[in-house]
Structure formats: C-alpha cells, structure tokens
Amino acid sequence: MNEPLLQIKNLSIDFNTTHVVNQISFALQQGETLGIVGESGSGKSVTGLSIMQLLAANGKISSGEILFQTTKNETVDLLKLQENEIRKVRGKEIAMIFQEPMTSLNPVFTCGEQIAETIILHHHLSKKEAKEKTVEWLDKVKLPNPEATFNKYPHQLSGGQKQRVMIAMAMCCHPQLIIADEPTTALDVTVQKTILELMHELQLQNNSSLIFISHDLGVIAEIADKVVVMQQGKIVEQGNVAEIFESPKHPYTKGLLACRPPLNKRLKRLPIIGDFIENENKSEINTRVSNEFSIAEIDEKLKSLEQQKNILEVKNLTVQFPSKKNFLGQPTEFLNAVDNIGFQVRQGETLGLVGESGCGKTTLGKTILRLNQPADGEILFDGKNIFDLYGADLMDFRKRMQIIFQDPYSSLNPRMTIGTAIQEPMQVHSIYSNQKEQQEKVMELLEKVNLKPEHYYRYPHEFSGGQRQRIVIARALAVQPEFIVCDECVSALDVSVQAQVLNLLTDLRNEFGFSYLFISHDLSVVNFMSDKIMVMNKGEIEELNVAAEILKNPQSNYTKKLIDAIPKGKFNFT
C-alpha cells in the first residue's frame, strides 16, 4: 500500500489544563474520504483545526505527530513547521471548509476578491488572471451568473451560495487534503444534497482526500470510505464505513446510530446514548415492538384528535414583503412570502411544517404569533381573529401562544440568569401570587426539563447548546401556553441531544395537552413529532396529510424531491 497522505499518531490537545483530545491515531490515503463523528465536545473540530495549525491561543498540542506527504513527496511533521512554513501548506496543500460561512467570509470584501486573494498568494498570478480563475471556480461550484457573483458581498448570498463560495475558496488551489467541518449542518436537505454532490465531483476531479466532520450519520454513510467515532476526546471505534454502520461494536456508536429518528416507522420514544452506555443490552430498545406505534394506535390517535376543537384556523392568509421600491423608498412591487393558504390545528395535535429555506415557514410561524401583519386573510385562535385583539385580550393571547426559537443563545439575555429569564414572563402576565411562589415554579420547571434547581443562578454562557434549548422550553412553559410554535428548535443540535429534546417535547405535550406547530427542514424529525405534515414551497401549501401518508405516498413532485434528498447512505441503520 502507498504511504498515507496523512498520519495522526498519538495526538493529544489541551486547552488550559483540560484534555480535549487524548492520544488519537488514524491515517488517510490519497483520494479517500474519512468521516469523523461524535457529539459536540468530542474533539472533532479541534482535531481538524490542529491539522491546519489553527488552534486558539489557549490550545496546546501536548504530544503526538501529524505527518503529511507534500506534493514534493516529502513527509513532514506539521507540528514542527514554523509559522511561515505552515502558511505555505495552508490553503495550497491543505484547505478547510468551515461550518458557518457567514462568519468565515470577510464582510467588507466581495466574495470574488476573497477567492482571488488565495489564488494570488499561492499561484503568484496577476489580479486579472486571478479574477479569471475565480470566475471559473464560481462557475464550477454552480453559482448563478459567476461574473455578477464575483462582485457580491457575503450578505447578498443565501446560506447555500455562501457555502459554495467557501468550497471554491478551499478547492481553487487544488489541495491534496480538504477538511470540511460540518459544512452542511444548517442547510436544507435539497441544498445539502447539491453541496455534497458538488464536493464529491470536485474531489474526484482533483483526486483530493477529504476529512468530513459531522454529527449527521446519514451524511457520513453517504460519502465516507472510513469512519472515526470520537467521544470525550478519544477514538472509541474506527474502521471502514460498512463495518461501523452495519455492525458497530462500541455502545457509544450503537447509541449514535439509534438516536437518529427513523423514516420508516414511528417510535414512541427515541433511544438515547445513555441507554447504551449504561447497559449494552439496552440496544434492544430500538427494535422492541412496544417502542413503535402500531398502525392501529396511530389511527386511534388521529380519530381522537378529530373529536377535538380547532385551536387554530388559518384562512386565505397572504403575507407580503416589498421586493422593489421607487426613489422615494415607497414599495412598487411585492413578494408573496405566504400566498393564500389555509389549514387547521386541533387541540393536542402536532402539525409538522417542512420546506426549503425561503418557502415561508418562519414567516408563517411569526404571522401566527402576530409578529407579522398579513396583507389578507384571517388567523383564528380559539375562534377569535388574532388581528382584532387589543389590550387585555391581546395580552391573554400572548400568554396562550408561545415560541421556541432556533437559536436559544441569541434569544436569551446574556446578562440575565436563566432563573430570572424563565420567571420574567410569569411577572409580565401576573402568574402566581408572589415572587417566592414564582421562584418555586421556576425550580419545578427546571426539573421538568431535566435541569437542576441550582441552575437558576447561572447565566446562558455556562450551559451547552442542548441545555440552553431546554431553558427556552422551560421559559415557553412558564406561562402555561396552549399552543407552541417550534421554529427549527433542534436543527443545530447533535443527534444525541436532539433525541433528548424531542423526547422532552413529546412528554410535555402528553402531560399538558397543548398543540405544536413544528417547523423543520428535517423530515425524519418531523415524522417523529407530527400527527400531520404540511409541505410548503414558495409560499404555497404543496400538500397536507397524515405523516405516514406524506412519507409513504407523497403526491407532490416537490415532496418527492425533499424525501429523495434525505441522506440515507448505503445502510439501512434507521
């Protein structure tokens, strides 16, 4: 066998006095794709950054070697290179595609200028030649009108388009190794599929090797040749993709595979990693019939929901935004973000809402909360038009309908302890008789969402992403709502944390009997949560039906495209 392109031997990384990567080793051949999977904090991204020598100032490599075979067929230890030497490797021979392109791209330079800068630095071309090469690459990554895109700033592009710019920047110098750190996590399944196909195509053209870091096992199963599974800074299992996905050995790997919501059945609860770590025999939990809803049970629940009243009715709703203005700033043309739609949600029902970015999902959710003003139509909540409510009636409506946002960190005040943040809505709506009683109820809510009462006095930055999501769930529950809009509330979470939050949302619905509008671009998550699914495209409803029917027998070509785009890999591990 040829000498590996990359060899990591006994690598350990410390941040201050904390071990974040502990004695890991793996190798990568030329042209191979290696998937690194694990939960947040497992050391995946830090491993990728250490190869690029881009660790934060408080990060220190305490032991190990990172051996890389350069284009000159010389094997060098990247850890022993000086800064001026590693800069010649970085970008030209090893490139990185980061998770969040908006924070990775410089907002004050055009996208074209940033790609051209890389080409000029490593290939010593003139500005004119670099621009020509950049336009070629913008065309290769299938961006519309490459000449115009060259002069656009990052904020003028969509998330998928910015990610393509990052791919062009990484690939433009024909590197031997590309490190992709969660490059598709925040993208819709259709955009994700296009990006993955594009990366694979360019990888084959350049015979590049790829390290793909992700917590999405479907994506890894789709593209990887080999897999490394990391937990708490250690490699617990590694091997070729078939071995890992078809017969995982380590309980942590089994747990990661089982946490992913299946598309082909409805589970009552999602298995969590703790089930497998505590007792390996509990791996049976994923195959027990008792954990799966039977067709009869699903039918019985749907029939019982039919007997319930409509808590929400949307009639002929249209929401517009200005798309063109005259020189006085007055709108002359409008875009229908939501276009003449209607549906109902019954008491205790969960309606899943799916579609690509820009289809109108979040706009619809905000309009239902009366955070947007419609151009036409009605929204009836418990029989009353929400746009006719004022004063005390409007305050009562605000209390009865709540939202759980996609990004809990930005929706929490960093200067406010989480106990105060949860208690604040109680004070606004005068719930409970005094402050002491409110504090007691906050403590109860924290325990309800699997946090500790002593967390009351901590600030948002002291919690993980999954814990912060539990905090905003507790805040939504603080006013005893009847209807909750969940806006992509688990899209940024690891599959293991996602499973815990989805189980929690299900338990709370069963206990309190409230209704959900569950917005997501992940059909597997929506299938687990929803009684019915509504598919939106360009502001219109493509179809609305029982969850099982949507997945088994989609009527719309658009829905079929969404289902086909879900990464399933070569292995039926769901």
Q: Does the pLDDT of residue 283 top 60, yes or no?
A: no
Q: Does the pLDDT of residue 287 top 80, yes or no?
A: no
What is the rounded average pLDDT of the residues 410-422? 93
pTM of the model: 0.83
Answer for the pair 350, 409: CB distance below 8 angstroms, yes or no.
no
HSE, side-chain direction, 13 A CA sphere, residue 559: 21
DSSP 106-167: -TTS-HHHHHHHHHHHHH---HHHHHHHHHHHHHHTT-SSHHHHHT--GGGS-HHHHHHHHH
536-547: b (≥16 Cβ within 10 Å) or e: bbebbbbbbbeb
Looking only at the bridges linking them, the beta strands covering 234-240 and 75-77 are: unpaired
E strand segments, 347-433: 350-354, 376-381, 384-385, 401-404
DSSP 419-444: HHHHHHHHHHTT-SSSHHHHHHHHHH
Q: Which of 529, 570, 519, 539 is nearest to 353 (CA)?
A: 519
> What is the C-alpha separation between 185 and 217, in angstroms, rounded?
11
Beta bridge partners of 211: 34, 179
Q: Does the pLDDT of residue 569 top 70, yes or no?
A: no
Tokens of 457: 């006095």
pLDDT reported for residue 528: 94
Q: Does the pLDDT of residue 331 top 90, yes or no?
A: no
Range with the lowest mean pLDDT among 106-110, 407-411, 468-472?
Answer: 407-411
> What is the C-alpha separation between 220 and 519, in angstroms, rounded?
25
The string of pLDDT tens digits covering residues 529-542 is 999 999 999 999 99
Map out the domains of the chain with their CATH numbers: 6-258 (3.40.50.300), 259-322+337-382+483-565 (3.40.50.300), 412-481 (no CATH)
Q: Does the pLDDT of residue 430 top 80, yes or no?
A: yes
Beta bridge partners of 352: 518, 533
317-356: b (≥16 Cβ within 10 Å) or e: bbbbeeeeeeeeeeeeeeebbbbebebbbbbbbbbbbbbb
AA letter at 3:
E
> What is the C-alpha separation between 288 and 227, in angstroms, rounded?
28
The string of pLDDT tens digits covering residues 130-170 is 999 999 999 988 888 899 999 999 988 877 788 889 989 99
What is the rounded average pLDDT of the residues 353-365? 89
242-266: b (≥16 Cβ within 10 Å) or e: eebbeebebbbbbbbbbbbbbbeeb
pLDDT reported for residue 572: 52
Beta bridge partners of 97: 180
